[in-house]
Amino acid sequence: MAKKTKSKQAKSKQVKARQGALTHSKGKAAKPKPKKARKLTKAQAKAILEAAKQGATGRKPKRERISAQALSRRTGKAAPARPAKGKPRPQGPAIKHDPEAPMKLMQMLMGFMVSKALSAAAKLGIPDALADGPRYYTALASAVGADQKALHRLMRALTSLGVFAEVEPGTYALTPMSQMLRADVPGSMRAMAVMITTPSHWLPWGRLEDTLRKGISVADDVFGKPLWDYFKDNEEDARWFNDAMTSFSGMTAQAVAEAYDFRGVKKIVDVGGGHGFFLSTLLRAARGAEGVLYDLPQVIQTLPRLADDVAKRITADSGDFFRAVPEGGDLYTLKHIIHDWADDQCRQILTNIRNVMAEGGRVIILDAVLPPDCAQDPGFLMDMNMLAMTPGGCERTEKQFRDLCAASGLKLTKIIPTPSPVSIVEAVRA
């Protein structure tokens, strides 16, 4: 009985096999048995979904379209401005390979080393020690009180930059550049070289990243007080600063005196005039005029002896130019004053001058005037110095000067370029 059952089952399988082959030969697929669905773990399901999103299934994922405004809301960053219709988006210049670029960049990066090396040489008095002629480095070190080997290394570095000349191995002499670092030459830049790396400038520049993030100088945070109060409490830094401003006047004063017409001027008031070098130079050009030197009390108290040929024509006065300025001048001068302050403070200074100057009086501002484009100009680095050092000071363009004068009741009449780093910005009462 069992044998018959097995025989029937075998025949049944053979019949089904023949039917399947016959169906296949007629072009119809045999129906497969339904498979039991396999359950996926959560991790497997997540992996399959991620693969699908990334295109692993062979289909390209749909790109999400998002507006610039929506992207701005998500990221918290300002949306880029849309170019005007019909105007193509501006393209930058093509970046070409420059084999000299790495060396040029390295020289820029080492600029602070050059500044400090020049400052140290000037403060030690090395150029003055070479005034009588070349010296071997050992003798030079003894003259300035420096270590011989260390001084030799400094002299080699500055000689490689053209600051000094090596006339024989180890023997150094002055060049036109180092001549300007002597203390006793006309137009000396020794004080400027020293001042530029004193704490008053060195420390705020060391925090430039913070200034860029905040948008205003962190000098007050560095010193714990406003810069001018710092100078009041640090006499040595203040002395180097005032001497540096006098030194800078040596670069600009004669250029201004030769470029401006002083005919008919009777009284020149130099507002924030420091130690009087600039005013003295102008009075030599305006022979019939008298001068008033006006600055803070601590500056006037340290006033050195003025040159004999103009001393009798100068009156020194002290005060705060934000509150008042001497009256009755027919020419007011502001050399490197306006660039120290933000527009609000500048309007106060200029308004004070406008209110008290003589009938037909003029004011001339002596600052850099920035070009409208980014052409090579020293004014842009001076502008960065104002950003790092002052609470809102800046160098300005012609339009900015024009707007500033108009807001102060003045009318800009002309701008006169000079061979120095400053231009003459002239204004009259509007």
- Supply the residues annotated as catalytic: 339
With H, G, I as helix, E, B as strand and everything else as coil, classify residue 270: strand
> b/e map of 372-405 (b: 16 or more CB within 10 Å)?
eeeeebebeebbebbbbbbbbbbbbeeeebbebb
Distance CA 206, CA 204 (A): 5
Residue 74 has phi, psi (to 5 degrees) of -70, -45
Q: 54, 61 in Cβ contact below 8 A?
A: yes
Distance CA 369, CA 396 (A): 6
Give the containing element (helix H, strand E) for 177. helix 176-179
Distance CA 394, CA 274 (A): 20
Give the containing element (helix H, strand E) for 413. strand 410-417
- Cα radius of gyration rounded to whole Å, the chain: 39
Residue 263 has phi, psi (to 5 degrees) of -60, 135
Distance CA 274, CA 245 (A): 7
Distance CA 380, CA 276 (A): 27
Q: 270, 294 in Cβ contact below 8 A?
A: yes
Tokens of 372: 């409208």
Report in angstroms the alpha-carbon separations of 126 from 132, 152, 173, 178, 184: 12, 12, 10, 9, 13
Residue 395 has phi, psi (to 5 degrees) of -85, 155
Angle, to 10 degrees, between the axis of helix 111-124 and the axis of helix 148-160? 120
DSSP per residue, 47-94: HHHHHHHTTTTSSPPPPPP--HHHHHHHH-SPPPPPPPTT-PPP-PPP
